[in-house]
Amino acid sequence: MSENFRLDKGGLINRDKKISFTFNGKKYFGYEGDTLASALLANGVHLVGRSFKYHRPRGFFGAGVDEPYAIVQMNRNNEVDPNVRATEQELFEGLEAKSVNCWPNVDFDIGAINNFLNKFFPAGFYYKTFMWPKSFWYKIYEPIIRKAAGFGSASIKHDKERYEHKYEYCDLLIAGSGPSGLASAYSAAQNGARVILAEDKSRFGGSLLTSEVTIGNQNGKEWAEKIISELKSMPNVVVKNRSQVFGYYDHNMLVMSERVSDHLPKTDKYIPKQRLWYIRAKEVVISSGSIERPLVFGNNDAPGVMLSSAAKEYLKVYGVIVGKKPIIFTNNDSGYETAIEFKKNGIDPIILDTRKEANSEIIKEAKELNINIKFSYVVVAAKGYKKVHSADIAKISDDKKNISNIENIKCDCICVSGFWTPTIHLASQSGNKTKFNEEIDAFIPSQSKQKETTLGAANGVFTLEETLKTSFEKGSELSKQITNKENKVSVPTVIEKKSSNHDKFWCVPLPEGKNYKRFLDFQNDVAVSDIELALREGYRSIEHVKRYTTLGMATDQGRTSNLNGLQLVSDIENKVVPQVGHTTFRPPYSPVSIGAIVGREIGKHSKPTRKSPMHNWHEKNNAVFVDAGVWLRPRYYKKGNENLFEASKREAKNVRQNVGVCDVTTLGKIDIKGPDAAEFLNRVYTNAWLKLPVGKARYGVMLREDGIVMDDGTTTRISENHYHMTTTTAQAANVLSHLEYYLQLVWPELNVNVVSSTEQWAGAAIAGPKSREVLKKLFPDLDVSSDGLPFMGYVEGNLFGVNAKIFRISFSGELAYEVNVESDYGNFMWEKIMEIGEEFNIQPYGTEALSTLRIEMGHVAGSELDGRTIPYDNSLEGLVSKKKDFIGKRSLSKSAYVAEDRQKVVGVVPLDKKTSIPEGSYIVKDAKAKLPNPKLGHVSASCWSVEYDNPFSLAIIKDGKNMIGQKLFAMSPLKNKTIPVEIVSSHYVDPKGERVRS
Amino acid sequence: MLYIKCPHCGLRPQTEFSYGGDATVKRPELNKEVSDQDWDNFVYLRKSPRGKHLELWQHISGCRQWIKVERDTLTHEIFTTLKANENI
């Protein structure tokens, strides 16, 4: 298909490079430098989508980030990209895009029936209509509404594109490369400041690309190019295009998304698709410019109605005429600039100016070009469903209340200009108290909270001369404070056409008997009538009106709708806009890919996986791994066709009968040194520590100040002032912080140092009746007899030339030893243990068998020490010293903690000795009691006892101490199970603890 | 994101720190009689001021020191930062 709407020359596109692309399955051509929007318009395509609520046809309204309609779904690099603005998407060879929010296609959309039923879809219709029956909401209404409304569908596949994060620091961050951005960047750079200049679009220069001005002896565009090339050559300046500063956070932290590869057919290897920049700036210059405001009239959402500034940009940047019979509908001089561009390119526009009369250089030029100008004229309604074909225009009275002389004239586009709205989003996000400027009918920044300065059009300054002057000065002033250097830059002379005042008129009254929809928010289908309804129903606060009608809530953040909405509310309420106030601006300014926010922190990267030095051995020996905190631990070692249950039973049984070895590297380890270390431990743990001899380990429990058990573990006295503490895998980091807190803040007088040594040591627990035999062969020089190395003893040994620490401690309840060597020798140690243990039938065991062993022994662990239990609850009250004070002791005397029927850990066995009890089950007295059935407690851990070959669980239940022998029920509503059980002692196996001491 | 001046390391982003609560709370001395009321106040009761707040942070991914930070809870302005043993 040939391009009917492309000029023969002009624009900034590369006409030597033709590009083919498809839209809704149809092939088109454009040029390098086009956006998807400009290329479609060049081909005469105006229908791009359907609206959010009424499914009305949608065309192009803007030419960049201001676009509320033209949202498409992209297929790129075999990935789906929803919610892409066609006005921002640059064209590349083979681009594939399609319309959203329409079915079966954009031309014939069944959902458009909503448009004819629009009486049933007023503001707040979700809240009003779908109230009954309640259960229908989740199952029926919501899914249907969700399907019908929305802007494309996200892929459910894993996104294989690469996104990156970057952290940057600078003296000045400048957001926007229009005249104010360029001037302030230039003078700041001259003073030696580190500058980052960010431009949202692919081309630098902002309004200079489309305005007819002279700076010095160059036109605006040439001047911008010169400044940019100078800035790029300076080492202290970073210049970034396709980069949008979208969020202003505390302490001058800004976030910018850089679209690194979105404009390319695919992402190259090692190059990200997008990059998120976290920038900490000493000063921020907001030079984000302004966005043209629409005028409100009947059917003002029809394809072919667009901002006059967008029409001008399509002409000047892309060489595209958006229509051959344009109407320019304006309340200020900006519309004339667009009309003049049309005229210069051989198109005859009609200007409808709402003002009674106006005179300026621009108007004079339009008159000299013989452009048809009608003053006191308005567009009453656009005509045409999928494309504007004509317009009802009318004369408007001087008081703007009455229209007369309605006539229909042919046209193929209506370019509207309702003056300019400064883009104050970033300033407002930073905490700036904005103020209303009567002269321009818009809010501008006023008092800064953070180090931020808004310049140029974003600050309500609409003349180039003043913009450049203040921007050069401000850039110099701000940077001078930082660098203490000043290189004066002379401000060039500016030639620009002076404008006359704009008309405050913005909304065309409805003609008698007509009920046209006049849209305020184009993306969310919010019309004048919706706001009127909301106010009739009693909504007053602008924040409530916004949420009830969804005005300004869509992805375009009300860029084109906000002020007209405020104006309407003020008019109806008989207030002025500043009294109504504006809604809060929140980041992001424009949508950011979830991928960019997440960056590389996907899958296992969300936290680095920690592996023990023996990991490769485990892998080679068919270990099935499980996440244990940040670690990967073997859950079981699979033999043949074994499942988890069979393998863990075999492993646990082997520990009870022979000997097993378990990788315990992941246990937290803290090295404690200093003359006051014993005193410190005595305060940290509930039991006594002052008399622990060198070469002995002790089990300890530590509490939080509120009396709840924080962690448990063994600590060994290595030498006089040196202790080795172990913590549970999960609590390692918390315990270290806890110790540091007390040493640094509460008892700074104690001379103790603590440091994490978790990763310095690899650990292997050798457990089982034959473990001593293994140890004897591992350390032939050592006396490891019960006298030589008694229970809770510690020695250092030589493991075939490697220094080893040997602790006789046991988690499994069997005779057991933990051997630690420096991490680098971990694998060597493990292989030696396996080699020597072979004759004793040694087998490795994983966390599942480890759990089984500790549960049937009644050893409490994380599932009992769950942040809700005190020592008594865990049957650890014997470890609580009555004599000395320690962290959390005072809390233990609270009445609830000493109650007679206080909860306590018990053992639970199913009466049938067959049915496993799901973890989390409730223990109740009467399985058939009326709901809610009073709960005595819950099952915290379950296993299959290898000692007795039946299921066994631990539970923490009310009055546990008096419940032993009772017949109760374990109920799991989740698994739909009710199991009759008997309560037994939690110490199910070897209650006297003879094995560990053997 | 806050920018916190660690008195030991200098300006660092908030992500290097973890929050530790009210810095004005004083733990009752060991081995001293404490009334139920005083103990409950120490363990549970905290003020939630709007405005200036002296609080603890630990430079967990840095020097691991606990520091005191005087911060405005409303505006996030940080007025001063102190070492653990310093007072305003």
Segment A370-428, tens digit of pLDDT: 999 999 999 999 999 999 999 999 999 999 999 999 999 999 999 999 999 999 999 99
Phi, psi of A363 (to 5 degrees): -65, -40
Question: What are the structure tokens assigned to A380, written together?
Answer: 């009453």
> How distant is the Cα of A705 from the closest Cα of chain B, in angstroms?
7
> How distant is the Cα of B60 from the closest Cα of chain A, in angstroms?
8
- Which of A841, A818, A828 lies closest to A663, judged by CA? A818
> How distant is the Cα of A888 from the closest Cα of chain B, in angstroms?
9
Q: What total of structural domains would you count in chain B?
A: 1
B27 contacts on A by Cβ (under 8 Å): 705, 746
B75 contacts on A by Cβ (under 8 Å): 431, 449
Q: Is the dihedral of CA A105, A108, A111, A115 positive or negative?
A: positive
pLDDT for res A854: 96
A249 contacts on B by Cβ (under 8 Å): 1
Chain B nearest-CA residue for A682: B30
- Asked whether residue A314 carries a pLDDT value surpassing 50, the answer given is yes
- Average of per-residue pLDDT across A147-157: 71
- Asked whether residue A149 carries a pLDDT value surpassing 60, the answer given is no
Chain B nearest-CA residue for A432: B75
How many interchain CB pairs under 8 A, A with B?
53
> How distant is the Cα of B88 from the closest Cα of chain A, in angstroms?
15
| A229 CB-near residues (< 8 Å, 6+ apart) | none
The conformation of residue A516, written as its DSSP 8-state character, comes to -
- Asked whether residue A13 carries a pLDDT value surpassing 60, the answer given is yes
Question: What are the structure tokens assigned to A308, written together?
Answer: 């006059």
CA distance A335 to A326: 11
- Average of per-residue pLDDT across A807-816: 95
Q: Which fold has domain A899-998?
A: Elongation Factor Tu (Ef-tu); domain 3 (2.40.30)
CA distance A788 to A809: 14
pLDDT for res A1: 45
Q: Which fold has domain A294-418+499-515?
A: FAD/NAD(P)-binding domain (3.50.50)
Q: Find where tokens 């030339």 sit.
A: A801
Contact between A536 and A546 under an 8 Å Cβ cutoff? The reply is: no
Do A518-584 and A14-129 fall under one CATH topology?
no
CA angle A508, A509, A511 (to 5 degrees): 120
- The answer, for B75 touching chain A at a CB cutoff of 8 Å, is yes
pLDDT in tens, A95-120: 999 988 776 677 777 666 666 666 66
CA distance A92 to A565: 38
Give domain status of residue B77, yes or no: yes
Give domain status of residue B33, yes or no: no
Q: Do A250 and B76 touch (CB under 8 A)?
A: yes
- The answer, for B43 touching chain A at a CB cutoff of 8 Å, is yes
Averaged pLDDT of chain A: 93
Q: Do B84 and A745 touch (CB under 8 A)?
A: yes
Q: Do B84 and A891 touch (CB under 8 A)?
A: no
**Contact residues of A toward B, CB < 8 A:** 167, 249-253, 278, 280, 431, 449, 683, 705-706, 737, 740-741, 744-746, 748, 884-885, 890-891, 894
pLDDT for res A121: 64
- The answer, for B37 touching chain A at a CB cutoff of 8 Å, is no
Phi-psi region of A602 (alpha: psi -120 to 50; beta: other; left: phi over 0): beta
Top residue of A890, A891, A892, A897 to mutate, by most chain B CBs within 10 Å, is A890
- Asked whether residue A123 carries a pLDDT value surpassing 90, the answer given is no
Give domain status of residue B34, yes or no: no
- The answer, for B39 touching chain A at a CB cutoff of 8 Å, is yes
Q: Do B39 and A891 touch (CB under 8 A)?
A: yes
Q: Considering CB atoms only, which of A252, A740, A885 is closest to B66?
A: A740
B6 contacts on A by Cβ (under 8 Å): none
- Does the predicted model carry a pTM greater than 0.90? no
- The answer, for B62 touching chain A at a CB cutoff of 8 Å, is no
Least confident window among A563-577, A792-806, B32-46: A563-577
Contact between A36 and A95 under an 8 Å Cβ cutoff? The reply is: yes
Q: Considering CB atoms only, which of A249, A741, A890 is closest to B39?
A: A890
CA distance A941 to A860: 9
Contact between A676 and A690 under an 8 Å Cβ cutoff? The reply is: no
CA distance A528 to A526: 7
The pLDDT confidence band at residue A146, using thresholds 50, 70 and 90, is: low
Q: Find where tokens 């001259």 sit.
A: A190
- Average of per-residue pLDDT across A294-321: 97
Question: What are the structure tokens assigned to A269, written together?
Answer: 């290897």
CA angle A67, A69, A72 (to 5 degrees): 100
Give domain status of residue B88, yes or no: no
CATH 3.30.420.270 fits A14-129, yes or no: no
Q: Do B3 and A253 touch (CB under 8 A)?
A: yes
Q: Do B3 and A252 touch (CB under 8 A)?
A: yes
- The answer, for B35 touching chain A at a CB cutoff of 8 Å, is no
Contact between A189 and A195 under an 8 Å Cβ cutoff? The reply is: yes
- The answer, for B19 touching chain A at a CB cutoff of 8 Å, is no
Q: Do A706 and B43 touch (CB under 8 A)?
A: yes
pLDDT in tens, A518-573: 999 988 889 999 999 999 999 988 889 888 888 888 787 888 888 899 999 999 88
pLDDT for res A438: 92
A430 contacts on B by Cβ (under 8 Å): none
Give domain status of residue B57, yes or no: yes
Q: Do A737 and B60 touch (CB under 8 A)?
A: yes
Most confident of A78-92, A569-583, A602-616: A78-92
pLDDT for res A141: 64
- Average of per-residue pLDDT across A961-968: 97
B2 contacts on A by Cβ (under 8 Å): 250-251
Q: Do A744 and B3 touch (CB under 8 A)?
A: no
Chain A nearest-CA residue for B86: A745
Enumerate the β-bridge partners of residue A286. Answer: A175, A454
Q: Can you give the residue range of the structural domain that contains B64?
A: 3-25+39-83
- Asked whether residue A302 carries a pLDDT value surpassing 60, the answer given is yes
CATH superfamily membership of A163-290+422-486: FAD/NAD(P)-binding domain (3.50.50.60)
Enumerate the β-bridge partners of residue A280. Answer: A169, A253
How many other C-beta atoms are found inside a 10 Å radius of the C-beta of residue A590? Answer: 20
Give domain status of residue B65, yes or no: yes
> How distant is the Cα of B71 from the closest Cα of chain A, in angstroms?
12
CA distance A593 to A110: 30
CATH number of the domain located at residue range(s) A518-584 in this protein: 1.10.10.1100
pLDDT in tens, A743-799: 999 999 999 999 999 999 999 999 999 999 999 999 999 999 999 999 999 999 999
- Asked whether residue A144 carries a pLDDT value surpassing 90, the answer given is no
pLDDT for res A77: 85
Chain B nearest-CA residue for A756: B64
- The answer, for B72 touching chain A at a CB cutoff of 8 Å, is no
- Average of per-residue pLDDT across B67-85: 95
Q: For the complex shown, is ipTM > 0.95?
A: yes
How many other C-beta atoms are found inside a 10 Å radius of the C-beta of residue A344? Answer: 11
Top residue of B15, B43, B45, B68 to mutate, by most chain A CBs within 10 Å, is B43
Q: Do A706 and B44 touch (CB under 8 A)?
A: yes
- The answer, for B60 touching chain A at a CB cutoff of 8 Å, is yes
Q: Do A741 and B1 touch (CB under 8 A)?
A: no
CATH number of the domain within which B72 lies: 3.30.2270.10
- The answer, for B44 touching chain A at a CB cutoff of 8 Å, is yes
- Average of per-residue pLDDT across A967-996: 95
pLDDT in tens, A474-507: 999 999 999 999 998 999 999 999 999 999 999 9
pLDDT in tens, A686-728: 999 999 999 999 999 999 999 999 999 999 999 999 999 999 9
- Asked whether residue A429 carries a pLDDT value surpassing 80, the answer given is yes
Contact between A566 and A434 under an 8 Å Cβ cutoff? The reply is: no
> How distant is the Cα of B51 from the closest Cα of chain A, in angstroms?
15
Phi, psi of A365 (to 5 degrees): -65, -40
| A218 CB-near residues (< 8 Å, 6+ apart) | A226
Q: How far is CA A445 from the centre of its chain?
A: 28
> How distant is the Cα of A748 from the closest Cα of chain B, in angstroms?
8
Top pLDDT among A55 and A858 is at A858
Q: Do B84 and A744 touch (CB under 8 A)?
A: yes
| Alpha-carbon distance values, A600 to A78, A161, A330 (Å) | 20, 10, 48
pLDDT for res A104: 67
